[in-house]
């Protein structure tokens, strides 16, 4: 067995020496630190194979039993004096001694063992050697896997740094070569749109366009990708069961009252039913009961899925049923329970997510992911009158592929609820742009900002229709 020792300052250098000396299939027996050096004991693959199984032509592979027993000198020396004593006795003693059976002498310990026993011992030794080699191979594979994992992590980190630097260089040159793209970028960031969506659209921006024409193209693409309900026939005339969901304070109860007023004006109070699940906040259901009393509509209160199932079964003759749910933080476990309750209510409950226009993009994305469940029927933009910019909520609606039903811009019932107009909302987003946002990034910071917005890896942006 030709075991070789390799030392190097690092594991990578030691492994390189092993590969150069013994080849890529070498078996590493041990790996340790010694005097600031990495010491590796390795064995060639052929040597390891010869240890694991004997050669076909070796005596160990085909042991032959030896039947000839070696002579026992002690036994002969003991028998010779006995014969002399017997010869000197009388005939009776001679006859008696001749008829007595001779007891065989025990075999001394130093006599060699039979060949089958020796073969079994050799097989046992080979099995132990095979186990040691297998353990060494497994340890070597584990160490190699750990080294490979570390190398892959370093390669991924280096790749990310190179992509960021190359993107920064690319955007820096684009800013000088095509200044209209930098101008459009500032407009989109000021309107509240994300850097990733802005980068994706600017990358697709047609060439040979000035800043104004480029901005018009951006607005057209955003309008085309903002899905909205064209008329109220899909909801008010068709009817069904609708549940307004969302975090606390987003405006679900007020939006429910506005929708109820529209249904009453279209079909009358007898065709509408209101249900509230908000039994946690003090006076929460009383607010909806006041709206129901004004509209002449009965308000039903439920606590769990069983109550909701019974209530929906009793109200199945109603044209429209609106459910006002309890407000729960998007990070609360109760969100999952609430979604499961609505999905298991025994009826086709369409969930409408209320999105607060004043929230940040990160918060809105968390809200959509938490309340998504098996799918949302649509969303309602609330508190539009309180938002300094609405590009953030439009960005989430476009990226999450939500169907925008209504926009709410006040507390009046039912005046402050309007059908969503994509062209108007996009134009308003750019008109309400924040003056500080346009100047908060220096020219030297724009390439760094855009290099971190990796739009190519965002699957939602690949479905943006450019027209």
The 10s digit of each residue's pLDDT in 428-444 is 988 876 554 444 565 55
Question: What confidence score (pLDDT) does residue 167 get?
Answer: 59
- Output 202-208 pairs: Cβ under 8 A, ≥24 positions apart: 203/455, 204/466, 205/181
Q: What is the CA radius of gyration of the chain?
A: 43
Q: List alpha helices for 178-194, DSSP H.
A: 179-191
- 3-class DSSP state for residue 304? coil
CA 379-192-399 angle, 5° bins? 45
By DSSP bridging, strand 240-245 and strand 320-324 are parallel
Residues of the chain with pLDDT under 70: 1, 48-121, 160-177, 279-285, 433-463, 465-467
- 3-class DSSP state for residue 300? strand
Q: Measured between alpha carbons, how far is 15 from 24 in angstroms, rounded to an integer?
A: 10
Burial class (CB in 10 A: 0-12, 13-18, 19+), 341: buried
Residue with token string 């649509």:
378
Question: What confidence score (pLDDT) does residue 79 get?
Answer: 45
Closest CA to 372 of 405, 396, 336: 336
Question: What confidence score (pLDDT) does residue 459 get?
Answer: 54
The domain ranges of the chain are 1-52+118-171, 178-226+432-467, 229-420
Question: What confidence score (pLDDT) does residue 348 get?
Answer: 86
> DSSP string spanning 310-374?
HHHHHTTT-SEEEEEPPP--TTSTHHHHHHHHHHTSSS-EEEEEEEETTS-HHHHHHHHHHH-TT
In b/e form, how buried is each residue of 296-307, taking b as 16+ CB within 10 angstroms? Answer: ebebbbbeebeb
Question: What confidence score (pLDDT) does residue 205 get?
Answer: 84
Question: What confidence score (pLDDT) does residue 452 get?
Answer: 58
By DSSP bridging, strand 320-324 and strand 349-356 are unpaired
Q: Measured between alpha carbons, how far is 120 from 30 in angstroms, rounded to an integer?
A: 30
Give the pLDDT confidence of 24-77 residue by residue, as tens digits.
Answer: 888 888 888 878 788 888 888 777 666 655 555 555 555 555 545 555 544 444
Q: In DSSP terms, which residues pair with 240 in a beta bridge? A: 320
Residue with token string 């199984």:
53
Q: Measured between alpha carbons, how far is 84 from 80 in angstroms, rounded to an integer?
A: 7
Burial class (CB in 10 A: 0-12, 13-18, 19+), 147: middle
SS (H, E, C) 214-232: HHHHHHHHHHHHCCECCCH
Torsion of CA 331, 332, 334, 339, to 10 degrees: -10
Q: Answer for the pair 394, 425: CB distance below 8 angstroms, yes or no.
A: yes
Question: What confidence score (pLDDT) does residue 97 get?
Answer: 41
What global pTM score does this model have? Answer: 0.59
* Secondary structure letter of residue 60 according to DSSP: T
Look up residue 215 and give its two tokens: 């901005």
Q: Measured between alpha carbons, how far is 90 from 81 in angstroms, rounded to an integer?
A: 17
Q: Measured between alpha carbons, how far is 144 from 11 in angstroms, rounded to an integer?
A: 10
Question: What confidence score (pLDDT) does residue 49 get?
Answer: 65
Q: Answer for the pair 189, 198: CB distance below 8 angstroms, yes or no.
A: yes
Cβ within 8 Å of residue 430, ≥6 positions away:
187, 191, 215, 219, 391
Give the pLDDT confidence of 286-321 residue by residue, as tens digits.
Answer: 788 888 888 899 888 888 888 888 888 999 899 999
Q: How many other CB atoms sit within 10 Å of the CB of residue 360?
A: 13
CATH of domain 229-420: 3.40.50.300
CA 215-221-225 angle, 5° bins? 145
Closest CA to 107 of 68, 74, 67, 65: 74
């Amino acid at each position: 067995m030709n075991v070789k020792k390799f030392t190097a300052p690092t594991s990578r250098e030691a492994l390189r020496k092993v590969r150069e000396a013994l080849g890529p299939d070498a078996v590493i027996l041990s790996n340790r630190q010694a005097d600031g050096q990495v010491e590796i004991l390795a064995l060639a693959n052929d040597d390891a194979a010869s240890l694991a199984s004997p050669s076909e032509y070796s005596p160990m592979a085909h042991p032959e039993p030896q039947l000839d027993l070696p002579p026992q000198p002690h036994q002969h020396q003991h028998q010779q004096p006995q014969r002399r004593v017997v010869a000197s006795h009388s005939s009776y003693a001679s006859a008696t001694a001749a008829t007595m059976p001779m007891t065989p002498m025990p075999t001394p310990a130093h006599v060699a063992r039979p060949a089958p026993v020796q073969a079994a011992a050799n097989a046992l030794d080979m099995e132990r050697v095979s186990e040691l080699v297998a353990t060494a191979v497994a340890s070597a594979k584990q160490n190699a896997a750990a080294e490979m994992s570390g190398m892959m992590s370093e390669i991924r980190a280096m790749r990310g740094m190179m992509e960021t630097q190359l993107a920064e260089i690319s955007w820096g040159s684009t800013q000088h070569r095509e200044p209209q793209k930098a101008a459009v970028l500032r407009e989109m960031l000021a309107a509240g749109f994300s850097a990733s969506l802005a980068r994706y659209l600017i990358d697709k921006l047609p060439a040979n366009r000035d800043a104004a024409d480029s901005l018009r193209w951006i607005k057209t693409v955003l309008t085309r990708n903002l899905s909205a309900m064209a008329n109220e026939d899909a909801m008010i005339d068709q009817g069904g069961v609708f549940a307004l969901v969302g975090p606390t304070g987003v405006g679900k109860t007020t939006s429910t009252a506005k929708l109820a007023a529209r249904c009453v004006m279209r079909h009358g109070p007898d065709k509408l039913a209101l249900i509230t699940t908000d039994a946690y906040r003090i006076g929460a259901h009383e607010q909806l009961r006041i709206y129901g009393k004004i509209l002449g509509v009965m308000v039903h209160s439920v606590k769990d899925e069983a109550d909701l199932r019974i209530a929906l079964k009793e109200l199945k003759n109603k044209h429209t049923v609106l459910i006002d749910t309890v407000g729960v933080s998007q990070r609360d476990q109760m969100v999952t329970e609430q979604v499961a309750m609505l999905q298991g209510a025994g009826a086709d409950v369409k969930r409408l997510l209320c999105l607060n226009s004043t929230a940040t993009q990160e918060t809105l994305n968390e809200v959509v992911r938490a309340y998504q469940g098996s799918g949302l029927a649509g969303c309602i933009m609330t508190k539009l009158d309180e938002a300094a910019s609405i590009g953030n909520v439009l960005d989430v609606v476009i990226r999450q592929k939500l169907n925008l039903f209504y926009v709410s811009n006040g507390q009046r019932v039912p005046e402050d609820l309007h059908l969503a107009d994509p062209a108007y909302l996009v134009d308003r987003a750019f008109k309400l742009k924040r003056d500080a946002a346009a100047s908060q990034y220096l020219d030297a910071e724009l390439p760094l900002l855009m290099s971190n917005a990796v739009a190519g890896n965002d699957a939602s942006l690949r479905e943006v229709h450019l027209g």
